[in-house]
Amino acid sequence: MSKADRGQPVHAASLIRKRQIVLDSSLRSDGRELSRIFVHELFHFVWARLGNTRRNSYEQLVLQELAAHARGELGWSAEDMKIRLHGLRSGLQWRAYVCESFCDTAAFLYGRCRRHDEFTLARKWRQKRADWFRESLGGRALSI
């Protein structure tokens, strides 16, 4: 297998069934990036237990963004998936994108990193997502 066939390098992974998060050791030298990536990975566990009603509600928010031709995202993983959707609004690729968008948004909101090159979503849509998180998750215990 060539290097090109191996996929994208990653800093972390969530293993939901094993209840593990794996982080690249290089993150130890950058606390803000570690915080951002750790929160992203932690929220994969939240997404898995969020329930269909709240997952569908977040999906509707993302659909509103796409209908308005909102560009950008709050992390490269979601942005790369968004670009590759090519209008697709259902199926495994779509669900994976919505999950990544949710986790990147959580990292944007709850991580220690306030500015990042990967934060490309317009302020208007960032605020709508922050409102959704506050209304849907604020003040509640989150199951992981």
**Residue 55 belongs to domain spanning:** 11-137
Is residue 6 included in any domain, yes or no? Answer: no
pLDDT tens, residue by residue, 11-30? 777 767 888 777 777 767 66
pLDDT of 87 higher than 70:
yes
How many CA within 13 A on the CB side of residue 9? 4
Work out the end-to-end distance of the chain between its first and last CA atoms, rounded to an integer number of angstroms: 36
pLDDT at 116: 77
pLDDT at 1: 36
pLDDT tens, residue by residue, 56-79? 999 999 999 999 999 999 999 899
Is residue 55 included in any domain, yes or no? Answer: yes
Domain count, the chain: 1
Give the closest residue to 58 by CA, choosing from 131, 119, 140.
Answer: 131
pLDDT of 125 higher than 80:
yes
pLDDT at 86: 85
CA torsion sign for 94, 100, 105, 106 is: positive
Is residue 58 included in any domain, yes or no? Answer: yes
pLDDT (mean) for 112-137: 92
Helices of type H across the chain: 31-49, 52-67, 76-84, 91-110, 123-137
pLDDT (mean) for 29-58: 89
pLDDT (mean) for 37-46: 91
pLDDT (mean) for 110-137: 92
Is residue 2 included in any domain, yes or no? Answer: no
How far is residue 102's CA from residue 77's CA, in Å, rounded to a whole number? 11
pTM for this entry = 0.84
Is residue 1 included in any domain, yes or no? Answer: no
How far is residue 116's CA from residue 82's CA, in Å, rounded to a whole number? 18
pLDDT at 107: 95
Is residue 41 included in any domain, yes or no? Answer: yes
The CA angle 81-84-89, to the nearest 5 degrees, is: 85
Lowest mean pLDDT among 62-76, 94-108, 129-143: 129-143
Is residue 142 included in any domain, yes or no? Answer: no
Is residue 4 included in any domain, yes or no? Answer: no
Binned at pLDDT 50, 70 and 90, residue 36 comes out as: confident
